[in-house]
């Protein structure tokens, strides 16, 4: 891994020891032939660690919430959109490499799914290199950085509800969503009001795609 990556990790108090595991965490599976290394297994592990740490924290912080409310809050914190945003802020896509001759192109770099995947794989790499406590601190400094300032009443409303409420403050016309499948695993949605697209989002389900579209629309409308 580059000195730039080592410097980035040091900002989180992490001394890199196992360089190979971090290289694996940023190796995109451009080739699926044979047993070539890519980040998919680390992503699987990182997702589980992330879910556990975030669940533990919000369970302890928001004792008044029921199971459904906690699930909704967790999904907002670790959704594809949120993790990709963190990845972009940290510049993690700069460290992506390919496991084949196929180059890392703009489609890969602009993919929100890839952004979320490499964040999860990085969490797993930190865990395998430094242990659970260090991985936990990393999650606290990134995903859970603003946890203490969360307003449960707002966070428990999904983005689609918040967007609809905002639009209804000045218009009687409802938000509609044009949602369609990009491929077997990915959906795209456009949040539309009065014929204008205010936000577009992607997700692994129609609901997630529409939520992400609404989130983007809210960010544009409420500054």
Q: Which residues are annotated as a binding site for Mg(2+)?
A: 43, 117, 120
| Active site annotation includes 47 | yes
> Is 210 among the catalytic positions?
no
DSSP H or E segment with residue 159? helix 159-168
The pair of structure tokens assigned to 199 is: 């936000």
Provide DSSP, 76-137: HHHSHHHHHHHHHHHTGGGG-EESSSS---HHHHT-HHHHHHHHHHHHHHHHHHH-HHHHHH
Q: E strand or H helix at 178, and its extent?
A: strand 176-181
Catalytic residue among 24, 81, 120, 190: 120
Q: Which two tokens stand for residue 163?
A: 């967007």
Q: Which of 47, 190, 210, 211 is catalytic?
A: 47
- Alpha-carbon gap, residue 117 to 47, rounded angstroms: 8
Annotated binding-site positions: 43, 117, 120
Nearest to 213 by CA among 14, 197, 78, 73: 197
What is the number of other CB atoms lying within 10 angstroms of the CB of residue 1? 18
Residues serving a catalytic function are 47, 120
């Amino acid at each position: 891994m580059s000195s730039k990556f080592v410097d980035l990790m040091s900002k989180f108090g992490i001394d890199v020891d196992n360089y190979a595991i971090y290289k694996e965490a940023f190796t995109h599976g451009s080739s699926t032939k044979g047993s070539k290394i890519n980040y998919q297994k680390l992503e699987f592990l990182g997702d589980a660690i992330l879910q556990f740490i975030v669940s533990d924290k919000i369970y302890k912080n928001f004792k008044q919430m029921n199971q459904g409310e906690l699930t909704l809050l967790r999904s907002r914190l670790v959704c594809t959109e949120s993790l990709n945003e963190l990845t972009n802020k940290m510049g993690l896509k700069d460290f992506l490499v390919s496991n084949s001759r196929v180059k890392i192109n703009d489609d890969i770099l602009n993919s929100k799914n890839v952004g979320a995947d490499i964040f999860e794989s990085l969490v797993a790499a930190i865990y395998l290199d430094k242990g659970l406590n260090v991985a936990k601190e990393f999650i606290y400094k990134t995903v859970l950085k603003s946890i203490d300032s969360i307003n449960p009443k707002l966070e428990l409303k999904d983005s689609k509800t918040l967007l609809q409420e905002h639009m209804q403050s000045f218009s009687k016309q409802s938000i509609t969503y044009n949602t369609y499948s990009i491929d077997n695993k990915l959906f795209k949605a456009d949040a539309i009001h009065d014929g204008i697209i205010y936000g577009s989002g992607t997700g692994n389900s129609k609901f997630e795609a529409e939520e992400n579209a609404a989130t983007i629309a809210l960010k544009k409308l409420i500054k």
